[in-house]
Amino acid sequence: MTQATVIDGKAFADGIRDGVARAVTELKDDYGITPGLAVVLVGDDPASAVYVRNKGEQANAVGMHSVTHRLPAHTSQGELLELVGQLNADASIHGILVQMPLPRGLDADAVIAAIDPAKDVDGLHPLNAGRLSAGLPGMVPCTPVGCMMLLKDRLGDLSGRHAVMVGRSNLMGKPMAQLLLAANCTVTVAHSRTRDLAAVCRLADILVVAVGQPEMVKADWVKPGAVVLDVGMNRVPSKDPEKAAAGKTRLVGDVDFAAVSPIASQITPVPGGIGPMTIACLLRNAVQACAAERGVRLSALV
Ligand code: NDP
């Protein structure tokens, strides 16, 4: 049985980061500007702490100015909004990311709406979401941007292909559906209320899954030859019972990779697929925000 080509998101992300590093050098050398990224973490969620650390380290690695604000879980809405306001006004910061989810009691929508849309590197501000759906330029969420880069690299023109997006979050499913539509795909958006999800998925030439359900998509959900992007990141107990008993976990996607690989033509693994693309595209968004703010046309960015 043939196996799908595994799409190496890590290698692709390395290429994006190289382009970002060259763009940072161009901004510094030719214009005297250092792009700045501020990441805000509220509370002590361990997974969020890892994401935030990675974002800061990778921003530093490409030569950006990076600041991380770690606030206690009992931070008030007012304190958080005040910090966002300070970052909006800070000329050394071109991108602001408030790590989600926020602790209970904080209003995420109000915080997102308070971020200057020009610095909204997560692309979650209603103005940026509206611009995307209207086909206007703006900040687009990083994970869908990364998915589109992989699809265009692998398939070239996406026109006329049937894309099924499983999941409809503001961060992933909705913007991804908009980008697929803009690329002239026929787009179906599925979610937890979709009837006969397996049959809907089987229609897909391009199947993108972002639900947060470990290995939900099985072999008979996939049309032979489909391209499958697995966005999910789920921690499940280790396969080794002893390690599992000791609390060891492993990372799996929303797609049953082993079962689907013989059916799909191309597939992203977890880990090493979409995950690395997300941070690389975040850095790219931050550099683009900086260039846009200064009216600079970058030659280096991938
Ligand atoms: P959300 O929880 O915000 O949204 C999940 C979506 O999946 C919802 O639209 C929900 O439907 C749908 N859904 C949930 N269960 C089912 C089901 N059984 N059948 C069909 N649809 C279902 O999650 P996100 O979009 O933020 O993230 C999804 C996954 O992607 C998570 O595993 C997350 O960790 C991962 N992720 C990975 C990133 C990366 O960099 N690789 C970046 C972002 C997310 P409904 O709307 O009806 O509730």
**Residues 6 or more apart in contact with residue 190 via CB below 8 angstroms:** 164, 165, 166, 167, 197, 200, 201
Euclidean distance between the first and final Cα of the chain, in Å? 36
> Tell me: the pLDDT tens digits for 190-233?
999 999 999 999 999 999 999 999 999 999 999 999 999 999 99
Look at phi and psi of residue 123 and say left if phi exceeds 0, alpha if psi is from -120 to 50, else beta: left
What is the number of other CB atoms lying within 10 angstroms of the CB of residue 234?
Answer: 17
What is the reported pLDDT for 299? 85
- The pLDDT of residue 108 is 98
- Is 178 annotated as catalytic? no
The pLDDT assigned to 1 comes to 72
Could you tell me if 291 and 284 are in contact, meaning their C-beta atoms sit under 8 angstroms apart? Answer: no
Mean pLDDT over 38-67 rounds to 96
**pLDDT per residue as tens digits for the range 75-106:** 999 999 999 999 999 999 999 999 999 999 99
H helix count then E strand count, the chain: 11, 11
What residue's CA is closest to ligand 1, atom 3?
169
- Residue ranges around ligand 1 (CB below 6 Å): 143, 166-169, 171-173, 191-193, 197, 210-213, 231-234, 274-275, 278
The CA 165 to ligand 1 mean position distance, Å, reads: 11
How much is the pLDDT for 237? 96
CA of 63 to the centre of ligand 1 (A): 32
Q: What is the pLDDT of residue 73?
A: 96
At residue 86, the pLDDT reads: 98
How many angstroms does the Cα of residue 162 sit away from the middle of ligand 1? Answer: 20
- Residue % of the chain over a pLDDT of 90: 97
Of the candidates 55, 174, 178, 205, the residue annotated as catalytic is 55
Among the listed residues 58, 119, 120, 122, the single catalytic one is 122
Which domains are delineated in the chain? 31-116 (3.40.50.10860), 142-276 (3.40.50.720)
210 CA to centre of ligand 1 in angstroms: 4
pLDDT at 11: 98
pLDDT bin (cut points 50, 70, 90) of residue 41 is very high
What pLDDT shows up at residue 300? 76
pLDDT tens digits, 141-190: 999 999 999 999 999 999 999 999 999 999 999 999 999 999 999 999 99
- 58 is a catalytic site residue: no
| Percent with pLDDT over 70 in the chain | 100
99 is catalytic: yes
Say yes or no to pLDDT of 258 above 80: yes
Nearest atom (ligand 1) to Cα of 100 = 26
Average pLDDT, the chain: 97
Helix spans in 90-240 (H): 108-114, 126-133, 142-155, 173-182, 197-201
Residue 68 has pLDDT above 90, yes or no: yes
What's the confidence (pLDDT) of residue 302? 59
Helix (H, G, I), strand (E, B) or coil at 102: coil
Coil, strand or helix at 59: helix
